[in-house]
Amino acid sequence: MRHPPTPSAAKCLPERLPLEGADVRYRADTYSPSRADALFDALHREIPWEQHRLRLFGREIPAPRLSCWIGDAGAAYTYSRVRFEPRAWTPALASLREDLAGRFGLRLNSVLANLYRDERDSMGWHNDGEPELGAEPVIASLSFGAERRFRFRSRAMKRVSLAIPLAHGSVLVMQGATQRLYQHDLPKSAAPCGARINLTFRWIY
C-alpha cells in the first residue's frame, strides 16, 4: 500500500485507441482461446459471487450483474456509497495479477470482478473516479466469455465517442486522463448471449 504503481512502460502496453485526450489501450488476443476458456471456468468457480445492491434515486435495487471485490488487506473500496472490504485472492486472480505485472509492468493491488450472466446484465454510465484510485487511475480490464459492447462518452459532451466489442481473452487498459474526461458503460445486448466475466484490476491508495 505504501508504494504507488510503477508508471507503465508504454512499449509493453497494447496499441492506443483513438479517444482524444484519453489513454486507452486494447489487445483482443492477449490470452489464447484455450487459455481464456480455462480462465473463465476457474474464475467462475473460484470467485464468491455476490449480488450487490445499488442506491439509485433514493431506492435500493439489486445490481444487474454479480460482483466481488478482491484485494490486498487494507484495499477497501467504496462504490455506490457502500464500503467493501476486500476478499482474498483466488489462485486464478493471483496468477493474472502476476501476469499483468510481467506482461505490461502494471502493479495492481485489487480487482473488481463482475459476472454478466446473460444479455440482460449490464453496467450503467459511470467513471471510476473514487478518490482512493488517485488522480489518474490505471485500470486493467480483462474479459472472458461472451463478447459484449463497451462504450465511452465524453463527460462534457455526453455523446458516445467510441464503442468496441471486448473479446474473450482481451485486455483493455485505461489510464492518464481517461476517467476524468470520459464515462464508460456496458449496455444490455439486443442479441441473446452467454455469460461474461470482467476483471478490472486497480491500485487503491
Q: Give least dist CB 32 to Mn ion, A.
A: 26
> How far apart, in whole angstroms, are the C-alpha atoms of residue 173 and residue 182?
14
Q: Does 46 bind Mn ion (CB under 5 A)?
A: no
Report the first-to-last Cα separation within the chain, whole angstroms: 6
Burial bucket for residue 64 (CB in 10 Å: 0-12, 13-18, 19+): middle
Task: Write down the least CB distance from residue 141 to Mn ion, Å.
Answer: 8
| Minimal distance, residue 123 CB to Mn ion, in Å | 7
Task: CB nearer to Mn ion: give 11 or 158.
Answer: 158
Residue closer to Mn ion, measured from CB, 128 or 147: 128
Q: What are the C-alpha distances in Å from 38 to residues 31, 41, 70, 145, 197?
A: 10, 5, 20, 10, 12
- Of the two residues 97 and 184, which places its CB atom closer to Mn ion in the complex? 184
Residue 130 interacts with Mn ion (CB under 5 A): yes or no: no
Pure H helices in the chain: 33-46, 91-104, 178-181
- Smaller CB separation from Mn ion, 92 or 133: 133
Residue 119 or 128 with smaller CB distance to Mn ion: 128
Among 46, 128, 130, 147, binds Mn ion (CB under 5 A): 128
What grid cell was written down for 183?
A: 464515462
Q: Per CB under 5 A, which region of 50-58, 82-90, 102-110, 124-132 contacts Mn ion?
A: 124-132
Contact between 99 and Mn ion by CB under 5 A: the answer reads no
Nearest approach, Cβ of residue 126 and Mn ion (Å):
6
The answer to whether 138 touches 22, Cβ cutoff 8 Å, is no
Q: Which is nearer to Mn ion, 72 or 128 (CB)?
A: 128
Q: In whole angstroms, what is the distance from residue 16 CA to residue 23 CA?
A: 7
Closest C-alpha among 115, 126, 118, 122 to residue 152? 126
Residue 119 in the binding site for Mn ion (CB under 5 A): no
185 binding Mn ion? (CB under 5 A): no
Q: Do residues 52 and 67 make contact, with C-beta atoms less than 8 angstroms apart?
A: yes
| 72 part of the interface to Mn ion, by CB under 5 A | no
Residues at the interface with Mn ion (CB under 5 A): 128
